[in-house]
Amino acid sequence: MSYKDLVKRLEDEGFETYLVGGALRDKLLGKKIHDIDLTTRARPSDIIRIFSDLKLIDIGKKFGTIKVIYKSKEYEITTFRAESSYKDKRHPDEISFSNTIEEDLKRRDFTINAMAERKGQIIDLFSGRKDLSQKIIRAVGNPYERIEEDYLRALRAVRFATVLDFSIEKNLKDAIKNKAGHIEEISKERIRDEIDKILLSDKPSRGIRLLNELNLLAYIFPEIKKMIGFDQHSSHHNLDLFDHSMKVLDLSPKNLKTRMAALFHDTGKVQSFFLDENGEGRFFGHQDISKEIIEKRLKELKYPKKFIENTSLLVERHMDNTNTYTKKSVRKLLRKVGDENIYDLFDLQRADVLSTVHDNTENISNAKILLEEILNSNTPIKKDQIDFSGHDLINLGFKEGKELGIILNEVYNLVMDEKLANKKNEISKYIKNKYNNLDRNY
């Protein structure tokens, strides 16, 4: 591994250096190592001098961290640090560098992240290896102190438990529950990043259920909390609203957009619910309410505008498969959601159907076949693929104005529905015949 080259440089300069954090944890678990963190007795100025021939990024020199780019890979190298107080619940009040790895490990969050390796020897002051073998997330030292230092650690505990399929130790659970409301003091961006990792785990529903158990769900996703225990009174469902959504979430592919849409797709049912004359639950327009809910929540969590647009589109259209798909309706759907979203929509719809009593996904499978036929044909799927423009209309004698847009839209729909060939001469002939525009004053 190339990180050993970096270690050698530091060691050759007389600075003991260790592999730490997630990299060591994953190595001990037999997993592939991704983000490599090193900690060293060298001060930031020493790190900068020793690696002056490489590209360096100062991501927190005052916090002791320098990022080194080596052979196209990034490595974070941090100076040993000592414990400190955290008044802002995010950053230590002051950075105090240490000369020992032992003092550095004492300030870390969980035992499985508080080990270090140097020259094949593992330093494990808090029985991290034992907790790894027993699949336990346990705080280093007093769990209340660890959570109070940085309330994001509550979410990190949930994330690690979800991703690694570990359990959270009881005292740590109690500390998180007790301090749950303080998660609102953490920046939305940091919360968002942890939520993303939970949703992209092998079984994301476990993370959502843990958030609820630890009193965090009501602060992060209050709309999801409202679905718990909500009886749908529906012959289509044998699960309550929350359990149904959790099943859809787990059946969705590992795609953040689809998983987020799965989580929120039925949130609007709470508001739209009513019982019909037969005692059957009805939820007219719930997809539109769900769209409004997810847009608002994702904006608050500072998600990118394009992600919000695409995800809310999936939520808005997730009921389209309740009608039998035809080539015409698939074309129309493609126009509405775009080719960058339509396969994700079908994935969401499939997961939704498989989470009901009636698990027949034939309609969605047929829609995919129809979509392939549409995409492989010469039929345009975007307006800029139409062999006709406003300039061509002007050349036919039309004057600029809203009429141009109306006629162009008509042409676009006809071509998309394969009722008019996508050829300039054919389109011109159609317009001349219908509008006799050369004799009209536009």
Among 127, 155, 181, identify where a domain stops: 127
The DSSP secondary structure of 362-393, one letter per residue, reads HHHHHHHHHHHHHHHSS--SSGGGSS--HHHH
pLDDT at 94 over 70: no
Q: In the predicted model, what is the mean pLDDT of the chain?
A: 90
Please indicate whether residue 188 or residue 406 has the higher confidence score (pLDDT): 188
Supply angle C-alpha 200, 108, 47, rounded to 5: 95
**CATH number of the domain residue 55 falls in:** 3.30.460.10
Specify whether 322 is located in the same domain as 429: no
In a domain? residue 39 = yes
Count of CB atoms situated within 10 Å of the CB of 122:
14
In a domain? residue 157 = no
Among 99, 127, 155, identify where a domain stops: 127
Tens of pLDDT along 55-91? 998 876 677 899 999 888 999 999 999 866 555 555 5
Mean pLDDT of all residues in 228-246? 89
For 105, the domain range is: 3-127
Least Cα distance to 323 among 363, 373, 281 occurs for 363
Q: Which residues pair with 37 in a beta bridge?
A: 20, 76
Q: Could you tell me the pTM of the whole model?
A: 0.86
Sheet hosting strand 36-40, strand order edge to edge: 55-60, 65-70, 73-79, 36-40, 17-20, 115-118, 121-124
How much of the chain, in percent, has pLDDT values that exceed 70? 95
In a domain? residue 162 = no
Number of domains observed in the structure of the chain: 3
